[in-house]
Amino acid sequence: MSLEQLIEQCKKQDRKAQAALYKLYSKKLYSACLKYSRNQAEAEDNLHDSFMVIFSKIEKYSFKGSFEGWMKRVTVNTVLQKYRKEGAFEALPNNLDAEVNVEVVDEDISLDYLLKLIQELPDRYRLTFNLYVLDGYSHKEIAEMLSISEGTSKSNLARAKMALRNKIEEDTINTAANSV
C-alpha cells in the first residue's frame, strides 16, 4: 500500500491503516517528542497525544508538502500546547542580556548526555533551545509559537545555553575531582 493510500484509509478511520501509520512513523516522532519532553515517560505520553491529534486532523492534510513534515509540525504543536496549558511560558524576571552568546558544544560530550541535560532544563528554556538550535526556527517564529516576545525567546535561549554550559563544567569538575 502506498503512503497516499495509507493516508486515505486513515482519513476513513481505518484502524489497521492507523496502526500501520503509527508503526511507520512512531520512532521518528518519538525522537521529536523526546527533544521537547522532560523525560522518556513524558515523551511517550506526548507521542500518544500527538498521534491522537494526527488521526483526528488527518483529513486536513492535502498532499501538499511532506507528510512527515506535517506530522512533525502537528507533534511539536501538540507538545507546545500542553506546556502552554501548564503555564510553562509565564514570564520570568528578565535580568539577563538576551544577546549573550554562550557556546555549549564540546566534541567529547555524548549525544545521550547532552539530551539528558537538555531534558533537565526548565520548560521555557528547553523548548526555546530545541526550537532554535535543533529545529532551526527563528526567534520571531518561536515567539509566535510560544506566545512570547522575541526578546524573551532570545533571553530563554541564552539562559538555556548558560545553564547547559554551567552543568557541563560542573560535571567535568566533579569527574576530574573523583578521578584524583
Question: pLDDT tens digit string along 14-62?
Answer: 999 999 999 999 999 999 999 889 899 999 999 999 999 999 999 999 8
User: Tens of pLDDT along 121-180?
Assistant: 999 999 999 999 988 999 999 999 988 999 999 999 999 999 999 999 888 887 777 766
State the cell numbers at 27.
520512532
- Give the pLDDT of residue 101: 42
d(CA 162, CA 88) in angstroms, rounded, equals 19
Residue 118 to residues 23, 72, 122, 134: CA-CA distances in angstroms? 27, 20, 9, 11
